[in-house]
Each structure stands twice: as structure tokens, then as C-alpha cells.
Amino acid sequence: MRYPETASQTGGPYVHIGLAPQQAGFDIFKNNFGANLCAPATLGERIAIEGQVIDGSGAVLRDVLLEIWQANAAGKYAHPGDLQAKPLDDAFRGWGRGGADFDTGLYRFDTIKPGPVVGRKGQMQAPHINVWVVARGINMGLNTRLYFSDEVAANAADPVLNSIEWVQRRATLIAQRGERDGLAVYRFDIRLQGEGETVFFDI
């Protein structure tokens, strides 16, 4: 017996009500899920990730919502399916969500730089963060990956990046490292359509 997967539908323009109610404009839950993945005890290099999501006309989406899922600083996911012999970090779940700013369209996550995770057949993957994008006009959440501009050698050997046949498209997944007030800030813009279109994955 096989049941068909429930059909996806757009998150719509008011996705924040359910997933980020404070941004929608009201306070309802005692404990809110947000875009800061770090507690004081979290291990690893603090980084920020910032960017905008851009449509096919070059306009910035101001109603988009993103989620990220990543390994800890040692390169281990907080999930029983990860059998790598690496330490868990009790102060790091590895997941966060955040809406773009309604005025500027800028999104931001405060997190740590993940360690490398093993891939298939023992090949190492470059450090990366899994990104999921939902919004009005997007019928099914878009999956992509964020890699880091200062991991040149690891990126060159990454099996997923290397599985992208169009070499020039791989660059759309590399976040550019900058610095602000002593904090590493990676810029990761996502282009939904047209020139420089970001690579999206069917995972």
C-alpha cells in the first residue's frame, strides 16, 4: 500500500501568522521559534547570514520566509540518523527560521559555522547550510544550499556542488564572507528566476 504525498500549496502572504506570529504583529506563544540558533554555551565560530530573495523582475521579496538546517561546529546533526563519531552540542539544535524584513526584504540568521559532514560513500561534503524558502507565489518550498566563500578547497571537492553539470551555476550557492563589528557576515542572495538564478534542489 502506498499513499500519495499530500500536495504542497503556497505558504501565502501571511505565512508569518503561523510560523513567526510576532512578525505578523501579535504576541501569542510564550516560546517563539526564531532566527537566532545560538545560546551562550553553543560551540563554534559565531557568524551571521544575510541576504535578500529576488524575483524574476529584480524586485526583492518582502514577504518571504526562510528556514535553515545545519550541523554543529563539529559537523554533526542533532538527529539519531547521524551516526558519525563526533560530539553532539547540547546547546545547538541546528534549526532556525526567519522572515525577510517587510521594508527592506533583508533576512538574517545568527548561527555558527558548521563543520564538514560526511557524504555518500564516505566522501566529505564541504561545510554547508540547508536553506528552505517559502512565500506567496511559491507553490512548493524551494530547497537550496549555502556554502562558504572561504572554503575554496572543500567546495572544489564537494560531491553535491560537483554534481551540478553547469559549472558556472555552482557560484550561485557560495555565500560571500564579509565582516561587520568583528563578526563574520556571509551574504547570500537568492535569485528565484532569470539571470544568475540560484540552483534549487529536488532532495
Q: Binding to another protein (CB under 8 A): which residues in 68-97?
A: 69, 71, 77-84, 93-95
How far is it, in rounded angstroms, from Cα 113 to Cα 144?
17
Among 164, 177, 184, 189, binds another protein (CB under 8 A): 164
Cα 190 to Cα 185: distance, rounded to the nearest angstrom: 16
Q: Which three cell numbers stand for residue 78?
A: 542533532
Q: How far is the CB of 177 from another protein (least distance, A)?
A: 21
Q: Which three cell numbers stand for residue 59?
A: 524586485
Name the grid cell of 33: 521559534
Give every CB contact of residue 57 below 8 A, 6+ residues apart in sequence. none
- Nearer CB in complex with another protein: 87/119: 119
Map the footprint of another protein across residues 37-66, applying CB under 8 A. 55-57, 59, 61, 63
31 binds another protein (CB under 8 A): yes
Count residues near another protein (CB under 8 A).
Answer: 81
35 binds another protein (CB under 8 A): no
Using the rule CB under 8 A, is 9 a contact of another protein? yes
Confirm if 191 and 198 have CB atoms less than 8 A apart: yes
The CB-of-181 to another protein minimum distance in angstroms stands at 29
Burial class (CB in 10 A: 0-12, 13-18, 19+), 55: middle
Calculate the dihedral angle through the C-alpha atoms of 25, 26, 27, 31, rounding to the nearest 10 degrees: -60
Q: Which of 49, 142, 174, 175 binds another protein (CB under 8 A)?
A: 142
- Select 49 or 160, whichever has its Cβ closest to another protein: 160
Among 105, 108, 177, 200, the residue binding another protein under the rule CB under 8 A is 200
